[in-house]
Structure 1
């Protein structure tokens, strides 16, 4: 029997330091997130970061927490239920980090009689700290606890025409009543070394525009290329000029080169260059979360306005919008009936 496992990032159980600390520990101790030797990761995470970060992160979560719970969890659950309504097979939800484990989700599928699973990492782009870690963890849990389960993985869908269309429509709808000078596509940031580590050729990726625009098998696992390609395809879908649109990367750690340009630097720079009315979209995420709701919609807005900007608009993620639900349900139906996955 076939079934679907949707996997998103995860969330602490509550916006308190007590619950945020174990969540951050699991997240930051992932070798695909902070990719240094275990002994050094222990020092960085448990000896330094977790001494102060849980309190700060809890305060950030408190700003965006809903009555129903974590926005990421609530939105993901709504999405799961709506996708399931369009299908005749079980659809369950797991999280890479936190109490809603992937193992628990696989057990839920097993209890429903499922032995053939479509794994859907809810990330449009390939990155070792997001897409890859979901796939690896799922395969580890499957091998250890459900060895007779077959798992097929949905590939990154950053350039799929149906995904691009719903994303472009979302942006167009969000800008319907907003006069803008510029649109910023702000993607989640990752260390530059992750790009090189993910390069199967070990020589193509140079972290410059030339390698991203030169065709290569490396693009299949190059987060930077895939982000830029998403922006280009959305602009083409909308038929808009690229002159008023640009890319940036948010959420970085200090003392380490991450993908550039940095979103916070761009927000400070724009007003000085005459960009006073800014719209921001965050296509690295399909569900609004701490990074989009607090870092971009709140902190980003304050930063832009303090730098001299006049109006600022954050366009929400696809979340549980009906068109996005239909796209996902159709992908599942193609896999279920024809063994075809989106490209």
Structure 2
């Protein structure tokens, strides 16, 4: 009789191996070569990517990574490993960490689980809100690895958890701690990673899943109209992305009388370049320079106990 042995694959986006131009260039090349991320015709995009984007962006991005690099490594990697270890301590099954781009690769993570004899794979992409550019890329990556296997496990794939009660409760507790420490702000801003508006027009329900999270958290906090707003960050390229843009919002809020804000990025399960540098540093400067007086960034859930308990609940529901 075939043994039933489940295992968990945690997946996040990925990160360079080092805050150096060569490492960042390798990482960006893999990331930006994925058609799920950039769907420009390959012949055109290949020339743009290799001829302009990688040579220009890699040194600049490397400096940004260096500004947030931790003694143990990239923040995303550090927090992701802590999540893996904390989740493994809660579960009686193997837990592996893989990245869609960079190391540890999805293949190395899946190989590790299969070598431990798992027969059932539970995939938990660490993206609370589904998007074709993130969660679907995880699906693609796993199927590419499976193409080289003779035997496959049963697979349970957790699409997202945008409204899961335990996720909302963990976010609420995080916000309430910040309010208690810094005082209630004039406005709570929830900044999500953006995607091209075209992706949404073509069927990606990511914007709706962000709205679902925002509505659930707003209700859990008991916030009224005007006490919260949702924005989108990290746009890339020239075509329109989801709006309102976080950076433009930061520049405009002080003129509207909003002098104290707290900002969080609920779409990021672990702090990374986009939260620690783009939000906590760049957007703080935009807001203060425009006349704001108080700006606090609420960290991602990272290895918070309530966050790990939520992951365990998601996994156990698939057993």
Q: Structures share a fold, TM > 0.5? A: yes
Inter-partner Cα distance in structure 2 for 1:242 and 1:13: 43
Which one of 205, 209, 212 corresponds to residue 226 of structure 1?
Answer: 209
Q: Does 1:332 align with 2:291?
A: no
User: How far is 1:255 from its partner?
Assistant: 1.8
Query: Where does residue 312 of structure 1 map in the other structure?
Result: 295
Query: Where does residue 263 of structure 1 map in the other structure?
Result: 246
Q: For each residue in 1:254-286, what CA deviation from the matched residue of structure 2 results, as whole angstroms up to 9, or x when unmatched?
A: 421000010000000001111111110101111
Provide the secondary structure at the position in 2 that maps to 1:97: strand
Q: How does 1:290-309 map to 2 (within 5 A)?
A: 290-309=273-292
Q: Is the 8 A contact 2:11 2:138 kept in 1?
A: yes
Query: Where does residue 159 of structure 1 map in the other structure?
Result: 163
Q: Is the 8 A contact 2:189 2:261 kept in 1?
A: yes
User: How far is 1:176 from its partner?
Assistant: 1.1
Which one of 111, 117, 129 corresponds to residue 113 of structure 1?
Answer: 117
Query: Where does residue 192 of structure 2 map in the other structure?
Result: 187
Q: Does 1:123 align with 2:127?
A: yes
Provide the secondary structure at the position in 1 that maps to 2:7: strand
Q: Is the 8 A contact 2:156 2:318 kept in 1?
A: no
User: How far is 1:146 from its partner?
Assistant: 5.5
Query: Where does residue 261 of structure 2 map in the other structure?
Result: 278
Q: Is the 8 A contact 1:14 1:69 kept in 2?
A: yes
Q: How does 1:1-343 map to 2 (within 5 A)?
A: 1-145=5-149, 147-179=151-183, 180-197=185-202, 199=203, 221-336=204-319
Q: Is the 8 A contact 1:121 1:135 kept in 2?
A: no
The alignment of Structure 1 onto Structure 2 pairs a total of residues equal to 314
Q: For each residue in 1:19-63, what CA deviation from the matched residue of structure 2 results, as whole angstroms up to 9, or x when unmatched?
A: 000100000011011111111220221121001100000000001
Q: Is the 8 A contact 2:166 2:306 kept in 1?
A: no
Q: Is the 8 A contact 1:235 1:242 kept in 2?
A: no
Inter-partner Cα distance in structure 2 for 1:45 and 1:146: 35
* RMSD between superposed Cα atoms in Å: 1.1
Which consecutive residues of structure 2, in runs of 5 or more, have no partner in the other structure? none
User: How far is 1:82 from its partner?
Assistant: 0.5
Provide the TM-score with structure 1 as the length reference.
Answer: 0.89
